[in-house]
Amino acid sequence: MELYSGHINKLIEELAALPGIGSKSAQRLAFHLINMPEGKVKRLAQSILDAKENVRYCSRCYTLTDKEICPICANHNRNHRVIMVVENVRDLAAYEKTGKYDGVYHVLHGAISPMLGIGPSDIKLKELLQRLQEEVDEVIIATNSSLEGETTAMYISKLIKPMGIRVTRIASGVPVGGDLEYIDEVTLLRALEGRVEL
């Protein structure tokens, strides 16, 4: 039985397809949106469209940005000879929030997973190697401590070490399979400071 009108059903369906939103939350959001003043709904819809149209990958580190080069890569006060490799933009944001890391980043947009059929060419690895043609002192591998994250870390280290660049891995102690995003800043800093040579 159709509980609601087609338009509401469609809205609930679209919202429920978003990550972390179950069907109950989707219903609650849908009814909230319908009760909002039209102007507010239009602003929300427009900001989604604007973000989609204007946000792109930084041409150096592949984080999301409005410009060709993101503010971190464009910042001359950062140490461009130290590159921290993370799986996704949320991980970058987590480290950035600590305010204690002054190097730059490289976002892989995923991790190697033979089980899911994700290989080295499916993540931004080639792009990382290209950056290493410039002067780089250290690559800090901060992929998750999941099986995929560890596989990726090992793969990258094997590629980079012969280039004579120092490769380190953030200390374990970051919960296994834990999303970096949900780990508190103290734990992240400890993981960064306690990084080990690979």
Q: Given the complex with Zn ion, which of 104 and 160 has the nearer CB atom? A: 104
- For 169, the enclosing helix (H) or strand (E) is strand 166-169
Looking at the Cβ atoms of 63 and 152, the one nearer to Zn ion is 63
Distance from CA of residue 189 to its chain's centroid? 18
Lookup: tokens for 150: 């560890």
User: Considering only residues 22-61, where is the footprint of Zn ion by CB under 5 A?
Assistant: 58, 60-61
Which CA distances in Å does 45 have to 8, 19, 52, 55, 94? 16, 18, 11, 15, 27
Smallest distance from Zn ion to CB 180, Å: 18
Say how many residues touch Zn ion, by CB under 5 A: 5
d(CA 129, CA 157) in angstroms, rounded, equals: 11
Does 11 contact Zn ion by CB under 5 A? no
Both tokens of 9, joined, read 């059903």
Instruction: Decide if 126 contacts 141 (C-beta within 8 A).
Output: no
In whole angstroms, give the CA distance from residue 58 to residue 124: 12
In the bound complex, what is the minimum distance in angstroms from residue 152's beta carbon to Zn ion? 20
Q: Report in angstroms how near the CB of residue 78 gets to Zn ion at its nearest.
A: 10
Q: Provide the minimum distance between the beta carbon of 57 and Zn ion in the complex, in angstroms, as a whole number.
A: 8
Q: Any bridge partners for residue 57, and if so which?
A: 64
70 to 99: interface string for Zn ion, x by CB under 5 A: x--x--------------------------
Smallest separation, CB 73 to Zn ion (Å): 3
Residues that bind Zn ion (CB under 5 A): 58, 60-61, 70, 73
